[in-house]
Amino acid sequence: MYKRVHCFVLMVTTFKRFLIASGVVLAAFSSPALAEEKDKGFYATFGGGFDDIQKTGWGSTQSGTTYGGDSEVDPGFGGDVGLGYDFGKFRVEATYVVGGGILGDCEENVADTTCETGGSISTKSYMASGYYDIEIPDSKYTPYLGGGIGTTTVSWDEIKVGSTKYSVNDSDNIFTWQLKAGVSYAARDNVDVFAEGVYHKYSDFHSDTGVDGANYDFKNFSSLGARAGFRYHF
């Protein structure tokens, strides 16, 4: 419990520092006059913050015996980098997204045995997304909504079920979708600073292990996160 609280406090502190740094960048780019309306065209996007993977269900079969339960994950870093095209009120993006966290408490509730996890879990995704900008007349702030689809590779360090300890191999590319809501601030005619919330949902998947006769399944895998960053319009 202490470990989880300590990790959460550390992540919140880190995110606060990131927001302060973003504010400094915003102030540096800002000018007394209102920024001109941004031109349509290509832009680069960079964002960072944290991901909080929700309690994840798992299942395992070892030599014909079925096990299953839940595992908690402490929050970890989450970030996005990519390219987009702005059509005016509508934008599209292609991004590379990373996330993850530290493996926490593990429960086994099918065969009534012990379960332990160690190390970390990480996600690496390629996403294609679309966004709708909600323009506010005579304002430098622009709320937006978005969503996207893509593929993700998941890495999970290790798990011990009963007396058997094994590592879980990286997943194949699994289907992923995301939802976002945020607000942009036009710091200059070619720079937007933004803050947003994001939800990722990953498909259930099966993974092999390094132990003969043992496999592993992920279930109900999702995450909530927050990002702050900027877009640079070319």
What is the per-residue pLDDT across 202-212, written as a single tens digit (0 to 9) for each? Answer: 998 877 776 66
Displacement of CA 203 from its chain's centroid (Å): 14
Instruction: Answer yes or no: are the C-beta atoms of 168 and 59 closer than 8 Å.
Output: no
Q: Hey, what are 143's tokens?
A: 């709320």
| Residue 40 CA from chain centroid, whole number | 28
Structure tokens at 147: 């969503």
pLDDT at 70: 83
**pLDDT tens digits, 42-53:** 999 999 999 998
CA–centroid distance for 64 within its chain: 35
Write the pLDDT tens digit of every residue in 109-145. 888 788 888 788 889 999 999 999 999 999 999 999 9
Residue 213: the pLDDT is 65
Cα gap 152→122, rounded to integer Å: 10
Nearest by Cα to 123 from 43, 225, 210, 208:
225
Among candidate residues 143, 121, 123, the one with its CA nearest the CA of residue 133: 143
Report the alpha-carbon angle 33-37-42, nearest 5: 130
Instruction: Please tell me the predicted confidence (pLDDT) of residue 117.
Output: 80
Q: Would you say the C-alpha torsion 56, 156, 170, 216 has a positive or negative sign?
A: negative
User: What is the C-alpha separation between 132 and 87, in angstroms, rounded?
Assistant: 10
Where do we find the tokens 């993850």?
100
The pair of three-digit structure tokens given for residue 228, joined into one six-digit string: 């702050």
